[in-house]
Amino acid sequence: MNTNDSSVKFLIVDDDETFTRVLSKAIQRRGYETAVASSAEQALNLLESFTPDMATLDLKMDGASGITLVPRLKALNPNIKILILTGYASISTAVEAIKLGATDYLAKPADTDQILAKLNVTEPDPDIEIADKPMSVGRLEWEHIQKVLIEHDGNISATARALGMHRRTLQRKLQKRPVREEH
């Protein structure tokens, strides 16, 4: 793959190590050049030498929110496509993000295919089939619970509180299967 000036530059800003690694790889596999930052501040430094054509931004990170990057990215490249991607999604932040010029807004958990689909990354690679089935609600719930659980260091009581769910219910859910997709 080439790394010349004609390659599309993709910026990923997210403090979730695993997430950025997976997404970055998936995007590189499609021939794009990627840059990763784990905070808004770090992203700003990157912008000195990297002018992205596309970006995914997390909202909740240490320091400034990814949403503050939207105006700067637009200023740097008016044609940039920006996808907000967050586990702390809300209607108000979604509205603000779009008003500021973000292209789209997705709540985590979202799988790589959906992210790329939102950014129209699928076009140049016809050999990669898009998964047509969305996540099942059960799977989505599981992923979300796991994420919040980890954020609370495995503390079940705290997780249940954060999720507004009864502790007993969360316990029962956790005892059940890890995941079971349909079929």
| Binding-site ranges for a copy of itself (CB under 8 A) | 59-60, 65, 67-68, 70-71, 86-96, 98-100, 104-105, 107, 124-128, 130-138, 140-141, 143-145, 147-148, 151, 162-165, 181-182
The residue among 24 and 47 lying less far from a copy of itself, judged by its C-beta, is: 47
Chosen from a copy of itself, DNA, none, partner binding at 30 (C-beta under 5 to 8 Å by type): none
Q: DSSP states of 11-58 as a string?
A: EEE-S-HHHHHHHHHHHHTTT-EEEEESSHHHHHHHTTT---SEEEE-
Which residues are within 8 A (CB) of 65 and not within 5 positions of it... i.e. 6 or more apart? 40, 59
What is the dihedral sign for C-alpha 147, 151, 154, 156? negative
Chosen from a copy of itself, DNA, none, partner binding at 154 (C-beta under 5 to 8 Å by type): DNA
The residue among 35 and 59 lying less far from a copy of itself, judged by its C-beta, is: 59
Which residues are within 8 A (CB) of 40 and not within 5 positions of it... i.e. 6 or more apart? 13, 61, 63, 64, 65, 66, 68, 69
The residue among 48 and 91 lying less far from a copy of itself, judged by its C-beta, is: 91
Residues 124-163: x where in contact with DNA by CB under 7 A, - otherwise, as a string: ------------------------------xxxxx-----
Q: Which residues are bridge partners to 35 per DSSP?
A: 11
Give the shortest CB-126-to-a copy of itself separation in angstroms: 5
Q: Which residues are bridge partners to 86 per DSSP?
A: 107
Q: How far is CA 110 from the centre of its chain?
A: 7
The residue among 104 and 141 lying less far from DNA, judged by its C-beta, is: 141
| Residue 168 in the binding site for DNA (CB under 7 A) | yes
- Contacting positions for DNA (CB under 7 A): 154-158, 165-169, 171-173, 175
